[in-house]
Amino acid sequence: MPAQITVDENYLRALAEKLMTMRSQVTQVRAGVNPLDPAHPHGERFNSLQVRAGSDKFAAGVNLKSRIAAVGSQADQKLTAYDQKLSSHAQGIAHIISSSDNVERANNSYATFNSYLGGPSPSPVPGLGSGPTTT
């Protein structure tokens, strides 16, 4: 039997943190920095790569320069898309955690308010977890 996976708040927070770490690494790569060695920049942004391949009269050199520029631009576009996706996923997870916290606060508020009224105490609803019910 496969191991059971528990998705709780700690797991979600760790996942969001990992996504933001990956996003930071993508940003570093786009800036020409090796994320494994950030103290020593190793290159330039992909969308500004330039090659010196002879004069403009050397057809093969001109072709190489344009292809390098196109590939660099495409790589930068893909990295930008990854950056946006990682950010979006991390924000979505943060929203899930926040929504869960808001539901928990609302439930606590309801339970407190209900105790002032002397009404029935909340009891679990089968299949819905612990939610308020009236009898």
How far, in Å, CA of 123 to CA of 110, rounded?
Answer: 12
Per-residue pLDDT of the chain in tens (135 residues, 90 and over written 9)? 788 888 888 999 999 999 999 999 998 888 888 878 877 767 777 777 778 888 888 889 889 988 988 998 999 999 999 999 999 999 999 999 999 888 888 888 888 877 777 766 656 555 555 444 444
How far, in Å, CA of 16 to CA of 87, rounded?
Answer: 9
Please report the pLDDT score of residue 39 as a whole number: 77
Give the phi and the psi of residue 45 in degrees, each rounded to 5: -60, 145
Please report the pLDDT score of residue 88 as a whole number: 94
Please report the pLDDT score of residue 127 as a whole number: 53
Instruction: Name the region of 123 (left: φ>0; alpha: ψ -120 to 50; beta: rest).
Output: beta
Whole-structure pTM value: 0.64
- State the CB neighbour count (10 A cutoff) for residue 86: 20
